[in-house]
Amino acid sequence: MAAARWEHFPHQADIGVRGVSATLEQAFEQAAMALTAVITDPATVAPREMIRLSCEAPDAELLLVDWLNLLIYEMATRNMLFGRFEVHLQGNRLAAQAWGEALEPARHHPAVEVKGATYTALRVAQQPDESWVAQCVVDV
């Protein structure tokens, strides 16, 4: 099985975010890392402050969109970036911690503003190799 990873995939004027890992929780964490990577290099984000987050949805796909939109909201209202995530799933409930710091434009060089996670190319599924993929397109 492949190591946990995040990646982007092209989609017209927007961008796809994808997390792949051995567990669904880690795939959600990697999708969040891909979200940060749309904005800046995640390696530049120091884990100075931790916040707790939670959300709930009827299924795993809607939960992914809610999770990413919750992160987008928190980044916007707190003027922060997040570079480390810990996700716990229990049924259709997500409880997580996100670590990050205040956005510093001169250091983080934000490329774009992410407006929201969408249902476009939305997929949360176990692959034939038993890894999990969690992906969707984000509006930039």
**Dmax over Cα atoms in the chain, in whole Å?**
43
pTM confidence score: 0.96
| Calpha distance 17→38 (Å, rounded) | 8
Q: What is the CATH number of domain 5-139?
A: 3.55.10.10
User: Taking 90 as the threshold, does the pLDDT of residue 1 lie above it?
Assistant: no
Q: What is the pLDDT of residue 3?
A: 85
pLDDT tens by residue, 29-72 = 999 999 999 999 999 999 999 999 999 999 999 999 999 999 99
Could you tell me where the DSSP H helices lie in the chain?
24-39, 60-78, 105-108
Q: What is the pLDDT of residue 2?
A: 65
Where in the chain are the domains?
Answer: 5-139
* Beta carbons of 134 and 127 less than 8 angstroms apart: no
